[in-house]
Structure 1
Amino acid sequence: MTPYEPAPAGQDTVSAGVSGLTIRTAQARDLTTLAEILTDSFHPRTGFVRWVYPMLRLGIYEDLRNRLRSNSPHYVCLVAVADGSTLTESGEAIAGTVEIALRSPPSWQPRASQYPYISNLAVRKSCRRQGVARQLLLACERISLEWGFPDLYLHVLENNHQARQLYLKAGYQLCQVEPNYGSLLFGTPKRLFLHKHLAATTAG
C-alpha cells in the first residue's frame, strides 16, 4: 500500500506510512487537535502571543473547519496518526497535518493556470524529527500526481532554516524570492517560493 490511497466514499482516506505512522484525510472530529498543533507551530506562546493564543487558536479552528466543509474536489487536509508504540505514550494521536489545494497564481507570477500548493505543514512538538513531515510531503506528491499535476509548490519564510532544510532534502528548489516591502521597512523575513518537479514513480 502506498503512503496515500483514496478510500471509498464516506470513509477516511487511510494509508500505511513509516512504521507506527498512518496518513489519512482529516475529519471534523480532528479539528480541535489540529487547531492546537497549527497554533502551537505557527504562534509559539511567548510574550504577547500568550495572551491572544486562545483567539488565534479559535480563528485557525474556524478557518480549517470552513475549508473541510467546502467539499472542493481539489482540496485535501491530511493528518499523520501515530500509534502508542512509537511516537506517543498512549493511544492514537495526531502527530502532524498538511493541506494541499489548487491555487490561482497572483498577477505578478508568470503562470497562467492553477497549480497544486502545499500549506500549513505542522508537526506536534513531541513528534518532530521522526519523519512525520517527510511522510506528509510524500502523500501530497502522490495527490498532486493523482490530480494530473507533475509540479508542486509551497512557501517558506527566509529565516525558517529548519523548514528550508526539510524542503531542500525533499527535493524542492527556490523558484522565486517574493517582493516584500515589509522586509525593507520593518526587517520582516522574505517569503521564498519553492518548486518541485515530481517523477511519475512517486505515484507508485
Structure 2
Amino acid sequence: MAAPALLSLSPAVSRHPHLLFSHTHSPRHPRFTPLAASSSPSPSPSPSPSPAAGGGVFLSPSALSQLDALAAFRYEHAFPHGSLTVRALTPADDAEADVLVRLLASSFSEDVRWAPAQRYAQLLAFVIRRYLYERRGLAPHAAVLVGFYKPDAAEEGEEGEDDGDEGEMACTAEVSLDAVGAPGAPPTPTPPLEFPYICNMTVKTSLRRRGIGKQLLKACEDLVVKMGAKTRVYLHCRIIDEVPFNMYIKAGYDIVQTDSILVWLSLQKRKHLMRKELPQVSVGSETLEF
C-alpha cells in the first residue's frame, strides 16, 4: 500500500467500506476553487489566486451557476421510521466535515485486522481530512454528499450523534461529474473519466439496514441529472460485497467489466465496474424518477 498522504477512498458502499490509497487528481483543466476560507490543512497546489480572491480563483459565470445549483441541492426522503436529507458538503461546513471524517475513519477501521482499530482510525482521520479539503476544492466538478437522518417521534429515545436541526449524520458519498472532478487514479477496472462516477459510499453502522444506502444512491443520481452532467453513471463494487451488489442490480446497474484474478497480487479485492444509463429528463421538469 502506497504512502498514506496520497489518498483516494473506496469505490463501493459495503458493510465495511475500504479505503484505497492512490495519487490525488491533477486535472488538465483549470481548477475552480470556491472563494471561502477554511481552517483545514493547506490544499494541493492550484492556479495562483487573484489578490482580490481571498485565497481562491475567479470563477466563470457558468461555474458560478453550477456552484449555486450545488449549494441549493437537496434530496429528501421520508421513511416509516424517520427522514433523510442529503446535501452537498460546502467549504463553510467545517463542523460537518469533522463529523464526516470520523464517520469515514470509523467505518474503515471496523474491517482492519492488522492494526489497533482506534489508533488506525486516528491516522485515517488525518489523511481523510486532507483528502476532503482537496475534493471540496474541485466543486462544481465533484461533490461530497452528506446525509442527515432524523428518527420519527417513536424513535427519538435512541442514542445518536445529533447534528443540530438537520439530525444525525448518517451517510456520505462522492460524485465526480466530469473529467476535471474525476479521481486521479481510480480503481480498476478503470471507468471513463468523462462520465459521472460514484464512490466512497458508506452508512453509519448503527443506521444500516434501514434503506438509507438505497436513498443515498438515488440522491447521487439526482445530483448528476440536476447538475446537467452526462447521464451514463459508473461505480465499483467488490465481488465479495453481496448486499451492495444486489442493491446496485435492483437500481438498474449492469456489470461492464470485472477485475482479473491478478489483482490479488496487489492485495486488493476483485471488483466489478458497473454502469447505469439514467433516464433523460426534459428541461424544466421538476419530477425525477429513478
**Fold match, TM over 0.5?**
yes
Q: 1:45 to 1:199 in 2, by over 3 A?
A: closer
Q: How does 1:53-202 map to 2 (within 5 A)?
A: 53-68=121-136, 70-85=137-152, 89=159, 91=162, 92-101=167-176, 102-103=178-179, 111=192, 114-146=194-226, 147-179=228-260, 181-183=262-264, 185=265, 188-200=268-280
Residues in 2 aligned to 1:67 and 1:7: alpha-carbon distance in whole angstroms: 14
Shift of the 109–53 alpha-carbon distance from structure 1 to 2, 3 Å rule, reads closer
**Which amino acid counterpart does residue 278 of structure 2 have in structure 1?**
L
In 2, the alpha carbon distance for the partners of 1:34 and 1:141 equals 21
Q: What root-mean-square deviation, in Å, do the aligned CA atoms of Structure 1 and Structure 2 show?
A: 3.1
Secondary structure of 1:61's counterpart equals helix
State the Cα distance separating 1:123 from its structure 2 match: 0.3
Structure 1 match to 2:22: none
Query: What is the rounded CA distance, in whole Å, between the counterparts of 1:165 and 1:110 in structure 2?
Result: 20
Higher relative contact order (CA 8 A, sep 6+): 2
State the AA in 2 paired with 1:164: F
2:84 aligned with 1:21? yes
Distance 1:60 1:173 in 2: 30
Q: Which moved more, 1:93-102 or 1:162-171?
A: 162-171
Amino acid at match of 1:74: H
Which structure carries more strand by proportion?
1
Bigger CA radius of gyration: 2
Q: Give the Cα–Cα distance (whole angstroms) in 2 for the partners of residues 8 and 193 of structure 1.
A: 31
Deviation string 1:119-149 (CA, Å, 9 cap, x unpaired) is: 1001001111111111111111122223231
Number of corresponding residues: 196
Give me the TM-score of the superposition, normalised by structure 1. Answer: 0.80
For structure 2, which runs of at least 5 residues remain unmatched after alignment? 1-65, 282-286
What is the identity percentage for the equivalent residue pairs of Structure 1 and Structure 2? 26
Alpha carbons of 1:123 and 1:66: their partners in 2 closer, same or farther (altered >3 Å)? same
Write the distance in 2 (CA, Å) between the matches of 1:65 and 1:110.
24
Is the Cα–Cα contact under 8 Å of residues 7 and 13 in structure 1 kept in the other structure? no
Instruction: For 1:149 and 1:194, locate their aligned partners in 2 and report how far apart those are by CA, in whole Å.
Output: 16
Give, in angstroms, the shift of residue 71 of structure 1: 4.2
Contact residue 100 and residue 117 of structure 1 kept, 8 A: yes
2:110 corresponds to: 44
Q: Kindly indicate which of the two structures has a greater share of residues assigned to helix.
A: 1
Give the whole-Å Cα distance in 1 for the aligned partners of 2:207 and 2:270: 28
Separation in structure 1 between the aligned mates of residue 172 and residue 288 of structure 2, nearest angstrom: 20
